[in-house]
């Protein structure tokens, strides 16, 4: 059962529960893959210098396009 707050959020973002779930899983998988790059960058800064930043910008921009 979806609570009133959940329904309000889904209405706010204009997505069905299933669509929202798929998008959230997609974003979380992308972020999990970025963990490796950030850890490598922490020890060897010359690698993956903008990987995480660029990926997060793309995620944010894709959300803004859907607004």
Query: Average pLDDT of the chain?
Result: 91
Q: At residue 57, does pLDDT exceed 90?
A: yes
Which tokens hold the place of 44? 């060897």
**Largest separation between any pair of C-alpha atoms in the chain:** 48
Domain coverage including residue 10: 4-65
How many domains is the chain partitioned into structurally?
1
Mean pLDDT of 20-29: 93
Mean pLDDT of 18-43: 94
Closest CA to 61 of 18, 41, 53: 53
pLDDT of 67: 62
pLDDT of 63: 79
pTM higher than 0.75: no
Which tokens hold the place of 12? 């706010």
Q: Measured between alpha carbons, how far is 17 from 20 in angstroms, rounded to an integer? A: 5
Position with higher pLDDT, 46 vs 66: 46
The H-or-E segment that residue 50 falls in is none
């Amino acid at each position: 059962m979806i609570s009133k707050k959940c329904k309000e959020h889904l209405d706010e973002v204009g997505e069905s529960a299933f669509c929202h779930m798929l998008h959230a899983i997609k974003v979380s998988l992308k972020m999990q893959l970025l963990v490796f790059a950030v850890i490598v960058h922490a020890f060897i800064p010359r690698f993956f210098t903008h990987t995480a930043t660029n990926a997060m910008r793309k995620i944010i921009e894709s959300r803004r396009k859907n607004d």
